[in-house]
Structure 1
Amino acid sequence: MKHVPVLFLVLGSLALAGCKAEGEQADAAPPPRPVLSVLAAAPPDRATGFAGTVQPRYQTDLGFRVLGRVITRTVDVGDRVKPGQVLMQLDPMVLDLAVRAREADLATALAQLSNTTAAETRSETLRDKKVVSQAEFENTLQAREAAAAAVEQAKAGLAKAREQRSYATLSADVDGIVISVDAEVGQIVAPSQKAITVARTDEREAVVDLPEEVARTLSNDTRFRVALQSAPSVAAIGTVREIAPQADATTRMRRVKISLDTPPEAFRLGATISAAPVEAGADRSIELPVSAVLERDGTPRVWVVDAATRTVKTVPVVIARRDDTRVRIAGGLDVGARVVIAGVHSLTEGQAVQTDGKANP
Structure 2
Amino acid sequence: MTIKPKQFPLLLSLMGTTLLLAGCNEEKKADVWQEIRQVKLFTVPSISQANTIVLPGEVHANIDTPLAFRVAGKVIQKKTVLGQTVKKGQLLAELDASDYLAGYQAASAQVSAANAERQQNSKDLARYKSLLDKGFISPAEYERRKTLLATSNAQLDQTIANAKTSQNQTSYTQLRAEQDGVISDWQLEVGQVISAGQVIGKLATTQETALWVNVPETRLQDFQSAKTYDVKINALGNARSAATLTELSPQADATTRTFAAKLKLPASLKAVAGMSGDVSVALSNSTSALQIPLTAVFNNGASGNGVWVYQPKKGNVHFVKVKVGKIEQDQIVIESGLQTGQQIIAAGANLIHEGQSVKPAEGI
Q: Partner of 1:4 in structure 2?
A: none
8 Å CA contact 1:215–1:243 kept in 2: the answer is: no
Question: TM-score when scaled to structure 1?
Answer: 0.59
1:190 Cα shift? 0.1
Q: Partner of 2:75 in structure 1?
A: 70
8 Å CA contact 1:289–1:327 kept in 2: the answer is: yes
Q: Partner of 2:59 in structure 1?
A: 54
- Write the mapping of 1:186-201 to structure 2, written as runs, cut at 5 A: 186-201=191-206
Q: Does 1:118 align with 2:118?
A: no
Q: Does 1:206 align with 2:211?
A: yes
Q: Does 1:85 align with 2:87?
A: no
Residue type at the aligned position of 2:170: R
1:63 Cα shift? 0.6
Q: Partner of 2:173 in structure 1?
A: 168
Q: Does 1:226 align with 2:232?
A: yes
Structure 1 residues 118 and 232: alpha-carbon distance in aligned structure 2, compared to 1, 3 A threshold: same
8 Å CA contact 1:119–1:140 kept in 2: the answer is: yes
Find 1:275's aligned residue among 266, 275, 278.
278
1:114 Cα shift? 1.2
1:142 Cα shift? 2.2
Structure 1 residues 180 and 131: alpha-carbon distance in aligned structure 2, compared to 1, 3 A threshold: same
Percent identical across equivalent pairs?
Answer: 21
1:104 Cα shift? 0.7
Q: Partner of 1:157 in structure 2?
A: 162
What value does the CA root-mean-square deviation take over the aligned residues? 4.5
User: In structure 2, the residue corresponding to 1:54 is in which secondary structure?
Assistant: strand
1:109 Cα shift? 0.7
Q: Which protein has the bigger helix share?
A: 2
Unaligned ranges ≥5, structure 2: 1-41, 298-302, 307-322, 340-349, 355-364
Structure 1 residues 283 and 246: alpha-carbon distance in aligned structure 2, compared to 1, 3 A threshold: farther
Q: CA offsets, 1:153-179, max 9 Å, x none?
A: 111111221222221121222332111
1:108 Cα shift? 0.5
User: In structure 1, the residue corresponding to 2:336 is in which secondary structure?
Assistant: coil
Structure 1 residues 80 and 131: alpha-carbon distance in aligned structure 2, compared to 1, 3 A threshold: same
1:233 Cα shift? 6.0
8 Å CA contact 2:44–2:338 kept in 1: the answer is: no
Question: TM-score when scaled to structure 2?
Answer: 0.59
Unaligned ranges ≥5, structure 1: 1-40, 293-303, 308-314, 338-354
Find 1:334's aligned residue among 333, 336, 341.
336
8 Å CA contact 2:232–2:238 kept in 1: the answer is: no
8 Å CA contact 1:42–1:284 kept in 2: the answer is: no
User: In structure 2, the residue corresponding to 1:270 is in which secondary structure?
Assistant: coil
Q: How many residues are matched? A: 270
1:81 Cα shift? 2.6
- Write the mapping of 1:1-361 to structure 2, written as runs, cut at 5 A: 43=44, 53-207=58-212, 219-220=223-224, 221=226, 223-229=229-235, 232=237, 236-238=241-243, 259=263, 261-264=265-268, 266-271=270-275, 273-275=276-278, 277=280, 285-287=290-292, 289=294, 305=304, 317=325, 322-323=328-329, 326-329=330-333, 333-336=335-338
Residue type at the aligned position of 2:333: I
8 Å CA contact 2:324–2:333 kept in 1: the answer is: no
Q: Which moved more, 1:184-193 or 1:132-141?
A: 132-141
Structure 1 residues 263 and 153: alpha-carbon distance in aligned structure 2, compared to 1, 3 A threshold: closer
Residue type at the aligned position of 1:59: D
1:106 Cα shift? 0.8
8 Å CA contact 2:94–2:175 kept in 1: the answer is: yes
Structure 1 residues 244 and 150: alpha-carbon distance in aligned structure 2, compared to 1, 3 A threshold: closer
User: In structure 2, the residue corresponding to 1:219 is in which secondary structure?
Assistant: helix
